[in-house]
Structure 1
Amino acid sequence: MTMIRSLLVFIPFLWLIPASAAIESVTVFPDRATVTRVVEMNVEAGSGELVQPDLPTNLSRDSLRISATGPDGLRLGAYRLETRRGSERVSERARDIEERLQSLRDRRDAVDDDIEAREMQLALLRSLAGGAGQGDEKLAVDGWSEAMQMIGSGAEEVLAARRQLSLEQRELEEEIERLEQELADLGQQQQDTLRLSLAYESASAGATAFTIEYTVSGAYWRPVYEWRLDTGADELQVVQFAEVRQRTGEDWSDAELNLSLSRPSAGGRLPEVSSWWVDVQPPEKKDSGDRARVAGDQLQRSEMELAAAPAAEAQWDGAELVGSEYTQAYRVPGRASVAADNQPHRFRLDEFSVDVALSARTVPRYQQTAWLYAEGTWEGELALPPGSVTLYQDSTLVGQARFDGVAPGGELASSFGVDDRITVEYELVRDDRATEGMLSKSTVLIRTHRISVSNGHSRAIDLTVFDAMPVSRDERIEVSLAESTTDPDRRDVDDRPGVLAWDRALSAGEELELTLGYRLKFPKDLPGVQGW
């Protein structure tokens, strides 16, 4: 009878046992993540309560969504979130380090005890050595020899053991210090959690799946690229990766991972256009320097706020593009795990081939070298977001660059290192100063450079030479190209005043010579010209 009462008391509390909610999927945005957990359990007819004790404290409470599928008549009631203080560290790596540290500290204590025991043995041997031959019975000569041999042999063993223990003690201290520093670098504190309690009522018993979805900060992903140029095939291989980091307070283990191209930080509201008023400037008032500085700081902050906005080669798994035309995401193949340690995890998303045109470009005024350049049209269905690019030319690393992103139909272009088969020379051939005019005298400055380029390739190559001529900021300074100048093919390149470009096709072994001269004229009474 007593056992039956115990069972009757225990049964109602079965429905308050915390449920295990596995992380089913994670969608990572550039500045946050949405986590979906699923709790599968059997519910009985009547009222009950689902308890999920380990949600992260930094979840957005407004983003919490709960749904369930189960037997007919299942209804969800009110829920509450409570903060629970914890003693465990957040990441699995931090917990592993703490366990290792505890083991090393225990071993260090044992070594300290062993060293103390050896010290006691040495003290005993020193006492025996100091008291040998004393007392009523003196040791015979043979006894002295035997005692010295015994004490000496014992001392050697004890000293050797102490040396070994001291060495182990030092190694333990170094390892403990290293792990303590690594733990400090992780920045992991004790893990507080949120406890979710959800009331429900079911008209019948049956299997039920509760879905808990929420958004957390402390997670992001960024695009990372490899651009591999094949100069023999005039082809650029674009390999796209994603680097994911997270310190949300919970490890994502064996979950479906999606990398969204949406930007929640942009907000869900279209900015409103305010009226733009123009008025007569009021008379300037004298004010203290402090107020002027405050006003300047306020203006600067306002401007910043406005501006912010041969054997078989192993094949890689590629990510699947999912979603609609307006909300798209990469789905990483299989299941993925990302620990909450803020360490980078890379996933390969896709690979594309782009036909490119190869050319050479040089800016001899600054560097007498030519750079290999590749450009092609991006014909993919999806825009490539901005990211860092590692550049390879024929499987050789040539450098890194920043990629600004490209929309379908846009241009993919980059330099791929110095082209050593093209030689460039930049030579000053004239630098004169003269005076013109009879009554109104003017100073005339003339400077001329010769640019020589030689194509050492066994194939023809398109070449672009960039340079610049002076641009006057004062109408009294007249600037013009000298008569000896080779006419440039383009002026004010990319809307940059004074920038010139010569586009040429060089056949194999061909040499090119260009002349660039410019003439400055200004009144003689001017004190001088800056920037010449």
Structure 2
Amino acid sequence: MPRLAAPASSILALALACTAALPALAADIPVASRPDAVTVFPDGASVTRRLTVSVPAGEHVLVIDDLPLTADPGSIRLQGAGTGSLAINAVDARQPRPTERRDPALVQRLETLKDERQSLDDRIAAERVRKRAAEALVSPGTLAGGERGLVIAEARQALAAAHEETLAADRAIRQAEQAQRGLDRSIAEIEAQLRAQPPRRLEARIAVEAAQAFRGELTLTYAVRQARWAPVYDARLVTTAAKPQLELVRRADIRQQTGEDWTDVALTVSTARVARGGAAPVLQPLVLRFHDPEAMRDRSAVSGMPRPLAMPAPAAPAREQAEASTARAVEQEAVAEVGAFQASFVVPGRAQVASGDGSRTLRIASATLEPDLVSRVVPSLDTTAFLEARFRHGEDVPLMAGPVSLYRDGIFAGRGQIGAATREDEVKLGFGPDDLLRVEHQVVRRTDGSSGIISTSRTEEREFRFVLRNGAQVARRVVVEDRIPVPEQQEITVEPLPGVTAPTLREPDGRRGIVAWSLDLAPGTSRDIRHGWRIRWPADKRVQQVQGRS
């Protein structure tokens, strides 16, 4: 049995804790706690609760009945320090029965409805008293006038007043009774829900034994899967300065549906992925054998036999059944802590992330870069040139793939996607059309499958002309991309036409059949690029063009 004894700073390795003190006899000790710190991963989260506890000597059961159903019981851990001696005997995490714990919100709503109904009972009773008082105004003794005798005018006034008060009392009683019927229906519905409602929390029961009274502060941690964060970026390009500048802002989009709100917590996001398992998958051998029809028929006969009934799948855990000077406003930024295999971003101050369909986006990092600007165009698909910023990622913290909002000189230029990158990887971001670069795509020659009378082969030729003109007042670095057919049979030959412009790059980024021309255009100047090819193949065969993959 693990035991802890410490004079001033004992370090516990427990499974839960308590905050209330009871007599030394064995007893349940309820524990109140709430999330204090959360670390969010791309595929889960770790939640920490902080407890100040006082446990008397003797055997006890610590009870924490407000853990979310999404908490992994096997991940519950406790650490802390204190004075005294405490031993942990067993940990039992389970769902309480509906009779043990009901939804507090529904219970509170039910109590409110019952209070409203009681108020209506009081109002009905008061209106009935009012009605009896009105009836007393027109009793025979009152109307007779006693010794004075009947006074007609006073009798009429009494009758009118009694009539008005009686009608008002009856109307108020009728309205109250109608409201009561609606309340009765709502009360019945909530009571039915409470009877049928499954538990919405996980209860942890920890058997402990204190050889002497223990007092200290403990931290409870547990893992949840229904939480994640994903990177989103803002890329702000400024082209009006002497040198272009790019501010890349990294944000964390946090979502959680754990069933508990994270209110006023210390928040950290980490790049570690906790749901991928601890080791690489194990390969099975790949066996080759000769095709044997007889063996195949034997296996088919066996496979045609009735299969034994499969064992039912185990029920999913309940946690799986059940996100006056003016000054510029500056966003707070997280503090990066880079480890050997992951990075963490500690969000300053305290934060809150509600459980539900919404999300919380926080700024975690930023960098100011000097990118290379390129106007990229693919004339065979679109004669519009697009401005592209390229830079080398220079940080130890990797860039995770995610969506990016693009801004060019303060104007929203659209949305894109940023790829994953580690240190020294090249990153490319497009910032919309470059309208000052004019591009024309001209077809110079096109022949389809011609062949001579005695020729044994067919020939096809394609020739194009790309005309580029820089209408800007500054020089442009331009990259033009096109493609050349890629043969997959030796009988098909592809060769460039004479006099075409030789590309400066072939198969950029490993894209098969792609060629590119990189050139600098001075302000107001033009440039022609000639591109074309000739294809030959046997005359008795037919060539099929397909859209291949890079």
Q: Same fold (TM over 0.5)?
A: yes
What corresponds to 1:82 in structure 2? 94
What corresponds to 2:534 in structure 1? 519
What corresponds to 1:235 in structure 2? 245
Q: Deviations over 1:169-215 (max 9, x none)?
A: xxxxxxxxxxxxxxxxxxxx865212222233334446322322111
Q: 1:434 to 1:205 in 2, by over 3 A?
A: closer
Q: 1:323 to 1:19 in 2, by over 3 A?
A: farther
Matching of residue 210 in structure 1 with residue 218 in structure 2:
yes
Partners of 1:530 and 1:359 lie apart in 2 by: 32
Partners of 2:486 and 2:47 lie apart in 1 by: 57
What corresponds to 1:43 in structure 2? 55
Q: 1:72 to 1:18 in 2, by over 3 A?
A: closer
Partners of 1:522 and 1:496 lie apart in 2 by: 24
What corresponds to 1:301 in structure 2? none
Alpha-carbon distance, 1:325 to partner: 2.1
Partners of 1:362 and 1:284 lie apart in 2 by: 60
Contact 1:237/1:353 (<8 A) preserved: yes
Partners of 1:527 and 1:204 lie apart in 2 by: 92
Partners of 1:356 and 1:500 lie apart in 2 by: 24
SS at match of 2:436: strand
Partners of 1:448 and 1:270 lie apart in 2 by: 51
1:108-507 correspondence runs (5 A): 192-205=200-213, 207-232=215-240, 233-283=243-293, 311-322=326-337, 324-432=339-447, 435=450, 437=452, 439-507=454-522
Contact 1:191/1:249 (<8 A) preserved: no
Partners of 1:402 and 1:272 lie apart in 2 by: 33
Alignment-mate amino acid for residue 490 of structure 1: L
Q: Deviations over 1:340-367 (max 9, x none)?
A: 1131111110111122111111000000
What corresponds to 1:19 in structure 2? 31
SS at match of 1:258: strand
Q: Deviations over 1:432-452 (max 9, x none)?
A: 358555633433322221111
Contact 1:31/1:217 (<8 A) preserved: yes
Contact 1:223/1:242 (<8 A) preserved: yes
Partners of 1:413 and 1:529 lie apart in 2 by: 34
Contact 1:43/1:208 (<8 A) preserved: no
Contact 1:354/1:378 (<8 A) preserved: no
Q: 1:312 to 1:13 in 2, by over 3 A?
A: farther
What corresponds to 1:118 in structure 2? none
Q: Deviations over 1:140-195 (max 9, x none)?
A: xxxxxxxxxxxxxxxxxxxxxxxxxxxxxxxxxxxxxxxxxxxxxxxxx8652122
Q: 1:13 to 1:393 in 2, by over 3 A?
A: farther
What corresponds to 2:313 in structure 1? none
Q: 1:52 to 1:449 in 2, by over 3 A?
A: same
Higher helix share: 1
Alignment-mate amino acid for residue 275 of structure 2: S
Contact 1:54/1:194 (<8 A) preserved: yes
TM-score of the two chains, using structure 1 as the length reference: 0.71
Question: Which residue, 74, 77, 81 being the options, matches 1:65?
Answer: 77
TM-score of the two chains, using structure 2 as the length reference: 0.69
Q: CA RMSD in A?
A: 3.8
Alpha-carbon distance, 1:530 to partner: 4.1
The percent of aligned pairs where both chains have the same amino acid is 30
Question: Which residue, 43, 48, 59 being the options, matches 1:31?
Answer: 43
Contact 2:343/2:397 (<8 A) preserved: no
Partners of 1:227 and 1:216 lie apart in 2 by: 32
Partners of 2:496 and 2:293 lie apart in 1 by: 47
Q: Deviations over 1:101-123 (max 9, x none)?
A: x99xx99xx9xxxxxxxxxxxxx
Partners of 1:311 and 1:504 lie apart in 2 by: 46
Structure 2 unmatched runs, 5+: 1-21, 121-196, 305-324
Q: 1:522 to 1:11 in 2, by over 3 A?
A: closer
Contact 1:71/1:204 (<8 A) preserved: no
Structure 1 unmatched runs, 5+: 1-9, 90-94, 111-188, 295-309
SS at match of 1:62: helix
